[in-house]
Amino acid sequence: MKILVTGSAGFIGFHLVKKLLDRGDRVVGIDNINHYYDPQLKYARLAQTGISPDAQQWHRPVASSIYPGYTFVRMNLEDREQLDRLFAREQFSRVCHLAAQAGVRYSLENPHTYISSNIVGFLNILEACRHNNIRHLVYASSSSVYGNNTKMPFSTSDNVDHPISLYAATKKSNELMAHTYSHLFGLPATGLRFFTVYGPWGRPDMALFLFTKAILENKPIKVFNNGNMVRDFTYIDDIVEGVVRILDHPPGGTVKMHSAESIEHRSNEQRTTNNELQTANNELRTANNELRTTNWSAAEILPQQDNKLKRSGNPALAGQQTPYKIYNIGNSNTDNSFSVPPPGGMRQQGKDSVKDGAEGGHITSAPYKVYNIGNSSPVALMDYISAIETRLGRTAEKIYLPMQPGDVPRTEADVSNLVSDLGYKPATTVEEGIGRFLEWYEEYFKIKKYNYAPHYQSSEI
């Protein structure tokens, strides 16, 4: 099986490529090796999989010296022509799309990068999948789509219509775009909402790396929201195990029609399903009629605007006070059967929740799924810091700071559909995972004798 992994010089992409190669898959990796964080770490990851520094050259396939089944090409997702050429040449059966501009806080200052990589780039991937008969597209979403959701744990059936960072908005948009392609062209697509991934070869802009570096250099660490943060930290090997299982498990069986010509044929096949859906829609109509008495607009979900609070920069408050509204303007006598919720959420208002297609397939017949991949065992930030301190035998000097805009106080994954569909649940404890990260960190910097001085100001967790 030949698999395209995008973002293969990145943290998760590198680990995934290694796992796929070790089990005998053929892999082509692409990445633009950008400077969001030190590209030397990306080259060092590539070297681990036998890719030489020749990888610097754009659009030139570099064969691995370790794995005969691995080739790397430096490429921008936005370069549609190169991407289309790659797909036509390689004839992939599956695609795991991890390349993206990551980071919540960076998106406040650099919005265009997010639209370029995460929206334009994602569209190019979808189009290439559509025209090249890809049998399964798996793509990275994020726990950040849950925004200020206060219901714990976060479930894939929760409403995620209120992102609080542009990064989150691009990830939620990816889910919507994937659903559209899945529906229109039968592209089997699965979105993965990763929860704070950590481990060896991890990102230098994230908390574990920054804390470790600062503690080892006797410098203070920044602790946001005065330490009142909880995260569902998920160990990299657990993430990769989940990704591989999901890659092997396309949603909705084997759907092969992707070309425009095949839509007609596929429509016939879908007619039976559509009849079933009609019944479901009738039921929905009743539910929607009941719900019409409860106004579902953002005005109901989000209280009156308060710009002062918003400007105070406290995202916990901003999430609830956002001056944001949506109205329907339409003839309310029209048939309501088409006003179905978008993929990825179950409306939480009122007791008559209307389940959507991402979870139950009640509305959409598209081969489309979304999973959380998280440890479902949240850890307080201060305990996470203690685990690092204990392992390093040093106490960190802490600077306590308020919550950063765009950030959320707590995350926790409900992984029940991962368990029921794939019999899998991440389980590595933070003590174990932090230990393995620190072993790698010490080894990496000793071997490299590398004067590493990342200049990142914030600690992404």
Ligand X SMILES: NC(=O)c1ccc[n+]([C@@H]2O[C@H](COP(=O)([O-])OP(=O)(O)OC[C@H]3O[C@@H](n4cnc5c(N)ncnc54)[C@H](O)[C@@H]3O)[C@@H](O)[C@H]2O)c1
User: Is residue 11 near ligand X by the rule CB under 6 A?
Assistant: yes
Catalytic residue among 146, 167, 198, 456: 167
- For residue 14, which of 59, 45, 54, 36 has the smallest C-alpha distance? 45
- C-alpha 214/C-alpha 451 separation (Å) is 14
Which of 3, 5, 7, 122 is close enough to bind ligand X by CB under 6 A? 7
User: Is residue 10 near ligand X by the rule CB under 6 A?
Assistant: yes
Structure tokens at 326: 């949506």
- C-alpha 89/C-alpha 70 separation (Å) is 15
Which of 154, 194, 235, 296 is close enough to bind ligand X by CB under 6 A? 194
User: Is residue 114 near ligand X by the rule CB under 6 A?
Assistant: no
- C-alpha 188/C-alpha 337 separation (Å) is 25
- C-alpha 173/C-alpha 70 separation (Å) is 31
Which residue number, 183 or 193, has a Cβ lying nearer to ligand X? Answer: 193
Please answer whether residues 314 and 259 qualify as being in contact, where contact means their C-beta atoms are separated by less than 8 angstroms.
Answer: no
- For residue 158, which of 408, 351, 346 has the smallest C-alpha distance? 346
Please answer whether residues 371 and 418 qualify as being in contact, where contact means their C-beta atoms are separated by less than 8 angstroms.
Answer: yes
Which of 4, 17, 87, 121 is close enough to bind ligand X by CB under 6 A? 121
User: Is residue 173 near ligand X by the rule CB under 6 A?
Assistant: no
Give, as ranges, the residues between 390 and 449 that touch ligand X (CB under 6 A). none
Structure tokens at 53: 């520094």
Residue 402 carries which side chain, given as an amino acid letter?
P
Cα 366 to Cα 126, 160, 234, 284, 339, distances in angstroms: 15, 20, 29, 18, 17
Q: In the bound complex, what is the minimum distance in angstroms from residue 105's beta carbon to ligand X?
A: 13
Which residue number, 117 or 281, has a Cβ lying nearer to ligand X? Answer: 117
Backbone region of residue 143 per phi and psi (left: phi > 0; alpha: psi in -120 to 50; beta: other values) = alpha
User: Is residue 107 near ligand X by the rule CB under 6 A?
Assistant: no
Residue appearing with tokens 């303007």:
329
User: Is residue 78 near ligand X by the rule CB under 6 A?
Assistant: yes
The neighbouring-strand residues paired with 191 are 139, 370
Which residue number, 9 or 244, has a Cβ lying nearer to ligand X? Answer: 9
User: Is residue 197 near ligand X by the rule CB under 6 A?
Assistant: yes
Please answer whether residues 121 and 100 qualify as being in contact, where contact means their C-beta atoms are separated by less than 8 angstroms.
Answer: yes
Which of 3, 62, 73, 100 is close enough to bind ligand X by CB under 6 A? 100
Cis peptide before 153 (omega within 30 of 0): yes
User: Is residue 231 near ligand X by the rule CB under 6 A?
Assistant: no
User: Is residue 235 near ligand X by the rule CB under 6 A?
Assistant: no
**Nearest residue to ligand X on Cβ basis:** 10
User: Is residue 156 near ligand X by the rule CB under 6 A?
Assistant: no
Please answer whether residues 101 and 167 qualify as being in contact, where contact means their C-beta atoms are separated by less than 8 angstroms.
Answer: yes
Which residue number, 136 or 231, has a Cβ lying nearer to ligand X? Answer: 231
User: Is residue 200 near ligand X by the rule CB under 6 A?
Assistant: no
User: Is residue 12 near ligand X by the rule CB under 6 A?
Assistant: yes
DSSP letter assigned to residue 6: E
The region of 9-17, 182-190, 343-351, 386-394 touching ligand X under the rule CB under 6 A is 9-17
Catalytic, 114? Answer no
User: Is residue 373 near ligand X by the rule CB under 6 A?
Assistant: no
- C-alpha 428/C-alpha 14 separation (Å) is 19
Give, as ranges, the residues between 18 and 47 that touch ligand X (CB under 6 A). 31-34, 36, 42
Beta-carbon neighbour count of residue 312 at 10 Å? Answer: 13
Which of 49, 82, 132, 142 is close enough to bind ligand X by CB under 6 A? 142
- C-alpha 435/C-alpha 342 separation (Å) is 41
Which residue number, 197 or 318, has a Cβ lying nearer to ligand X? Answer: 197
Q: In the bound complex, what is the minimum distance in angstroms from residue 438's beta carbon to ligand X?
A: 18
User: Is residue 336 near ligand X by the rule CB under 6 A?
Assistant: no
Which residue number, 64 or 101, has a Cβ lying nearer to ligand X? Answer: 101
Catalytic center residues: 167
- Site for ligand X, rule CB under 6 A: 7, 9-13, 31-34, 36, 42, 76-78, 98-102, 117, 121, 140, 142, 194, 196-197, 203
